[in-house]
């Protein structure tokens, strides 16, 4: 068998391309660890700001350090006039992820640290991105809805301010806390598609905004960041618990996926789903509508049974399964589900860009340049002969 026909297109699954100190994902045990801390520990005890500091600085902050870090994020909430002009000028039906990707270079143009060599300026740019993407998302939602722009309120934390800028009123502490925990859960997940994209761009020496812009583009794909959107669309298509069995049978018989079940890495329950399930229930209680949560629970239970009967294997909910009903109960528009993912994952992206560019020589991977097996046998064993256009 020759080299070409022996290659299997695996999408790099199971291929380790670099080392990292940022995150460990144990798919068999169902464990997720950020720089040594389990996701369960962080979700229960850490704020998103503390988690972002941990990812960027390799350790949890001291009291004065988190105060300074949080203050820096607040100061960087101020959006330049040029960006507001841009947000007002784009069509209101612009896909939000396209808008978010376009905003990255505009944020770069207004960042005096952009392009400066060294880890310190890059860390400052990372803070600018963490603040900036959240503010941009909230501003665009106000502008496209024809509502008055709400300026940032620096007495509020990161998650609180995002909800305030979107809705025009400060959220209750429990809702803000639930969103904050969601941001912690989505902040990092090793070499997923968008993070690998960011690292690949960073490996060329490109500045952090270019790498993050590319990551946003990768996250916009429906098989990655858009997965919880498809979960919510699926729930709305099913509509009632009475239609669950019919939907499962139709989907499995067609050989299609039930969105939100199964994961490329986890072979057991996604640890984030375990945390999100009761949060989704609680958010439904706060919204006085448990219907979507209850539909999700029934769907998960019946789909797992049906999958086991048909395939002989187990399948489990992933992070997208319960985040859909949770964000819906929070009244976040469906097309902003993925941007909310982005304003969380920005912490992980920026940490990976910094590791890619400023790791020690022993830990630093080479410029990413995978090979490919050419199978374009257009003219048999020989190369094609060019034919003049008048003779073709």
Within 10 A of 64 (CB to CB), how many other CB atoms are there?
A: 8
Distance (Å, whole) CA 129 – CA 123? 10
Q: At what angle do helices 173-186 and 271-286 cross, to 10 degrees?
A: 160
Active-site residue, 158 included: no
Distance (Å, whole) CA 348 – CA 56? 8
Q: Is 288 helix (H, G, I), strand (E, B) or coil?
A: coil
Dmax (CA) of the chain: 77
Concatenating the DSSP letter of every residue in 164-181 gives: HHHHSSPPPHHHHHHHHH
The one catalytic residue in 113, 158, 320, 352 is: 320
Distance (Å, whole) CA 79 – CA 109? 12
Within 10 A of 273 (CB to CB), how many other CB atoms are there?
A: 24
The one catalytic residue in 186, 189, 263, 352 is: 263
Q: Burial code of 93-119, b = ≥16 C-beta within 10 A, e = fewer?
A: eeebbebbbbbbebbbeebebbeeeee
Q: Burial code of 185-195, b = ≥16 C-beta within 10 A, e = fewer?
A: bbbbbbbbbbb
For the record, the structure tokens of 331 come out as 């009244």
Concatenating the DSSP letter of every residue in 185-215 gives: HHS--SS-HHHHHHHHHHTTT--HHHHHHHH
Residues 6+ apart with CB under 8 A from 153: 161, 164, 165, 170
Q: Is 384 helix (H, G, I), strand (E, B) or coil?
A: coil
Q: Is 37 helix (H, G, I), strand (E, B) or coil?
A: strand
Active-site residue, 352 included: no
Residues 6+ apart with CB under 8 A from 108: 114, 125, 207, 209, 210
The one catalytic residue in 224, 245, 289, 335 is: 224
Catalytic residues, by residue number, are 224, 263, 320
């Amino acid at each position: 068998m020759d080299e070409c026909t022996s290659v299997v297109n695996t999408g790099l699954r199971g291929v380790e391309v670099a080392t990292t100190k940022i995150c460990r994902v144990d798919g068999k045990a169902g464990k997720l660890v950020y720089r040594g801390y389990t996701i369960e520990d962080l979700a229960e005890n850490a704020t998103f700001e503390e988690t972002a500091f941990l990812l960027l600085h390799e350790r949890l902050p001291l009291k004065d350090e988190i105060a300074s870090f949080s203050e820096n994020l607040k100061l960087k909430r101020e959006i330049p006039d040029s960006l507001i002009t841009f947000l007002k000028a784009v069509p209101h039906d612009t896909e939000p992820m396209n808008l978010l990707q376009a905003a990255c270079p505009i944020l770069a143009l207004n960042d005096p640290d952009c392009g400066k060599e060294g880890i310190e300026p890059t860390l400052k740019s990372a803070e600018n991105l963490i603040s900036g993407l959240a503010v941009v998302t909230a501003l665009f939602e106000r502008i496209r809805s024809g509502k008055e722009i709400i300026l940032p309120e620096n007495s509020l934390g990161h998650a609180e301010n995002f909800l305030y800028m979107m809705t025009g009123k400060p959220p209750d502490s429990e809702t803000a806390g639930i969103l904050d925990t969601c941001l912690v859960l989505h902040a990092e997940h090793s070499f997923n598609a968008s993070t690998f994209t960011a690292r690949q761009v960073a490996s060329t020496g490109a500045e952090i905004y270019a790498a993050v812009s590319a990551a946003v583009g990768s996250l916009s794909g429906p098989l990655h960041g858009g997965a919880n959107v498809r979960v919510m669309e699926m729930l709305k298509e099913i509509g009632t618990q009475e239609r669950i069995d019919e939907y499962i049978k139709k989907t499995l018989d067609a050989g299609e996926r039930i969105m939100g079940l199964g994961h490329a890495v986890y072979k057991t329950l996604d640890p984030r789903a375990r945390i999100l399930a009761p949060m989704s229930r609680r958010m439904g209680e706060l919204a006085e509508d448990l219907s979507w949560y209850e539909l999700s629970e029934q769907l998960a239970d019946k789909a797992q049974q049906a999958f086991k009967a048909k395939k002989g294997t187990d399948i489990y909910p992933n992070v997208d399964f319960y985040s859909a009903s949770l964000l819906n109960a929070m009244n976040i528009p469906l097309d902003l589900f993925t941007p909310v993912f982005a304003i969380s994952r920005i912490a992980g992206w920026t940490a990976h860009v910094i590791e890619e560019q400023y790791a020690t020589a022993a830990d630093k991977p080479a410029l990413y340049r995978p090979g490919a097996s050419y199978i374009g046998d257009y003219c048999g064993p020989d190369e094609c002969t060019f034919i003049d256009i008048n003779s073709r």
